Structure 1
Amino acid sequence: MTGALANHLYEQCRYDEAKGLYEALLPIRQALGDRKGESFVYNQIALIQDLRGDYATALAYYEQALPINRELGDKKGEGTTLNNSSQIYDAQGDYVTALRYLEQSLHIQQAIGDKFGEGTTLNNLATTAHAQGDYVTALRYLEQALQILQAIGDKSGEGTTLNNLATTAHAQGDYGTALRYLEQALQIRQAIGDKSGEGTTLNNISQIYAAQGDYVTALRYLEQSLHIRQAIGDRAGECTTLFNIGHIHWQNDEQQHALTAWLTAYRIAKQIGLAQVLQALEDLAKGLGGEGLDYWEELSQQVGLE
């Protein structure tokens, strides 16, 4: 009963409550010798810590789950844990390690016919390829993922894939296609109550309008995204949205608002080790006449954020 409730709370994005129940459930699973259940709980706690931006703790839980999967010969669980672990390395900018885990995960999932897992891993392979600027490879993975996820009726995965297809189209300057994908993704995510995905999609829609110079509409979408991400405790997502809000304020000649948003993003990114945002802030500092991340560190101390 506790496990079912914890899973329900997790699906409802009530992560703090879910985490408390999973932590209470863990010693019960261990006492019963339920190794598969124990591994599942490790994975679920790790997913929540990943969302919170606590990558070290998340990885520690995954590293406890993986040997159990292998000990039990649980190939599906092993594929899932490898896939989930890859996302920690991806968030920290270690794409080589992320890719190694993803390739292992995909091999297992294809071998056992785990279509759900395969679709998820193809999406993450696409994300890693995209982060490295390889849009052709990203698109190939995403088209495979979309076909699989639509075939098995995985609406959550379909929403994620449509969002990622939009990101690739945006990077290639095809704003019309990107917006079409995002609108489809948003409809799906709102219909199934996927608040985390909704926050991501709203953020991404804003970037289409920003690229076209419609800053009023862009800011409206960003404020909706920020509200959701803060409400569910999505620290990495909150950081990304704040970074984007800063750019809108800067374009509107609201420099103080822009700097406040960027400084808050810096504080979060530094705390959780979010590599992509830290790199973006480092590049931004150079454009503002500063010296990389030292610029934000000095500025944050001046205004008392540290």
Structure 2
Amino acid sequence: MGNKDKWISGYIKILSVFSTWGKSDYFCRTFFFHHEFPIFAIMRSIQKIILFILLLTFTVSGVAQTGGLKNTEMLINLAESYRNIDPDSAILYGKIALEECSQSGNKELMARSQRSLGITYFYQGEFNRSLECLDSGLVLYQISGNQKGIANCLNTKALVYQKWAEYDSSLRLLEQSLHIRESLDDKEDIAISYLNLGNTYFYKSNFVSALNYYFKAVVSYQELGLKTDMADVYINIGVVYKQLENYEKAITYLNFAERIYNENNAQMGLSRVYSNKAEIYNFDLNRYDEALDLYQKALKIKKQFNNPSEIALMYNNIGTVYGNMAQYGAAFEMFEKSRKIYQQGGDIAGLIMVDYNMGKVK
């Protein structure tokens, strides 16, 4: 490995350390509603400088083949680890990785880089850019004959069309992806395909087909021993039965999920169960005391994870229960708590929701 490759590897190792610190940065900033301590601002500045140096290094000339491939894989992994922590950095890492593997001519890594960047753009809501990267990755996987890569790109493209409410296009891509995954006997990916097909049929209000695929996903996850994934699907099944106004079955499947989450100490899963059950008790069965208890349980868990937007949502939901109970003072108190958090986070959709609910109480 030449000096240049050693420098690059050194820079990437430093960035790896920052990726670990970045996770702490995320939790601190969310807990304090985006107040950033000076040390984190300094870390972020250093990080940007290192990224800029790396980008210049890759732009000026290529890197040695062996060191370059290893560095590209490290950069892709870094980009993916930053995806939910610091999306801007994730995109920068992804672009640097793409630049490096483009210079090396390694089509497999180029395809992986394109798909990874496409997923990051997807999470950022930049769906056109996401689709552009996914299409590029798909072509490269087709050239190399990587069937798993092709199936993965088709699956992610389907999720983009799902976001655009182009459900027929989404279903077509998901079915193509499923066909490839079945030919590869990739059981976990097959289960994911079933889940995504179920979700898309749910969005189309085709609840029978949604249930069909959800139950297939449950069987697959059960065979794989993936209990919490199975519980996630049980929640979806419960939501379908709620839409069908079969509240007894909805609660039954939510209870299945709750039992699994309890066995695995999956707190965020439990919070989703509590929220969904509370919604049924609040809006469909008029069992307000039970709804209130469940929303408060969910709120307690959300606070443990310091997620302001979800805490705000729970306050809003508790406000609706008090409104339904004609306890208007308590309702407004909860709505104001929710509103304050949404204002601090600049969440316009959240503010609109709270204002609408406050208007109903008035």
With normalisation by structure 2, the TM-score equals 0.60
State the alpha-carbon separation in 2 of the partners of residues 229 and 87 from structure 1. 28
Gaps of 5+ in 2: 1-69, 282-287, 323-327
The answer to whether structure 1 residue 250 and structure 2 residue 324 are counterparts is: no
State the alpha-carbon separation in 1 of the partners of residues 198 and 76 from structure 2. 30
**Aligned pairs (5 A) from 1:56-67:** 56-67=128-139
* 31-40 or 146-155, larger mean C-alpha shift: 146-155
Aligned to 2:276: 207
Question: For residues 66 and 13 of structure 1, do their structure 2 counterparts lie closer, same or farther at Cα, with a shift above 3 Å needed?
Answer: closer
Aligned to 1:176: 251
State the alpha-carbon separation in 2 of the partners of residues 187 and 106 from structure 1. 32
State the alpha-carbon separation in 2 of the partners of residues 107 and 188 from structure 1. 34
Quote the offset at 1:124 in angstroms. 0.6
Could you give the per-residue CA deviations for residues 126-150 of structure 1, whole angstroms, max 9, x where no partner exists?
1111222222211211121222233
Quote the offset at 1:259 in angstroms. 7.8
Contact 1:182 1:205 (8 Å CA) reproduced: no
Aligned to 1:16: 86
State the alpha-carbon separation in 2 of the partners of residues 124 and 262 from structure 1. 33
Matching residue within 187, 193, 202 for 1:121: 193
Aligned to 2:176: 104
- Higher Rg of the two aligned structures: 2
Aligned to 2:101: 29
Question: For residues 287 and 225 of structure 1, do their structure 2 counterparts lie closer, same or farther at Cα, with a shift above 3 Å needed?
Answer: closer
State the alpha-carbon separation in 1 of the partners of residues 184 and 141 from structure 2. 14
Quote the offset at 1:62 in angstroms. 1.5
* 212-221 or 154-163, larger mean C-alpha shift: 154-163
* 26-35 or 153-162, larger mean C-alpha shift: 153-162
Contact 2:117 2:133 (8 Å CA) reproduced: yes
State the alpha-carbon separation in 2 of the partners of residues 53 and 188 from structure 1. 35
Question: For residues 130 and 222 of structure 1, do their structure 2 counterparts lie closer, same or farther at Cα, with a shift above 3 Å needed?
Answer: farther
State the alpha-carbon separation in 2 of the partners of residues 71 and 80 from structure 1. 15
Contact 1:166 1:178 (8 Å CA) reproduced: yes
Quote the offset at 1:83 in angstroms. 1.0
Matching residue within 216, 221, 230 for 1:144: 216
Contact 1:6 1:22 (8 Å CA) reproduced: yes
The answer to whether structure 1 residue 217 and structure 2 residue 294 are counterparts is: yes
State the alpha-carbon separation in 2 of the partners of residues 257 and 111 from structure 1. 52
Question: For residues 93 and 12 of structure 1, do their structure 2 counterparts lie closer, same or farther at Cα, with a shift above 3 Å needed?
Answer: same
Contact 2:312 2:339 (8 Å CA) reproduced: yes
Identity of aligned residues (%): 17
Matching residue within 214, 221, 230 for 1:158: 230
**Partner SS, residue 86 of structure 2:** helix
Question: For residues 62 and 245 of structure 1, do their structure 2 counterparts lie closer, same or farther at Cα, with a shift above 3 Å needed?
Answer: farther
Count of aligned pairs between the two proteins: 268
RCO (CA 8 Å, sep 6+): is it higher in 1 or 2? 1
Contact 1:163 1:201 (8 Å CA) reproduced: no
With normalisation by structure 1, the TM-score equals 0.69
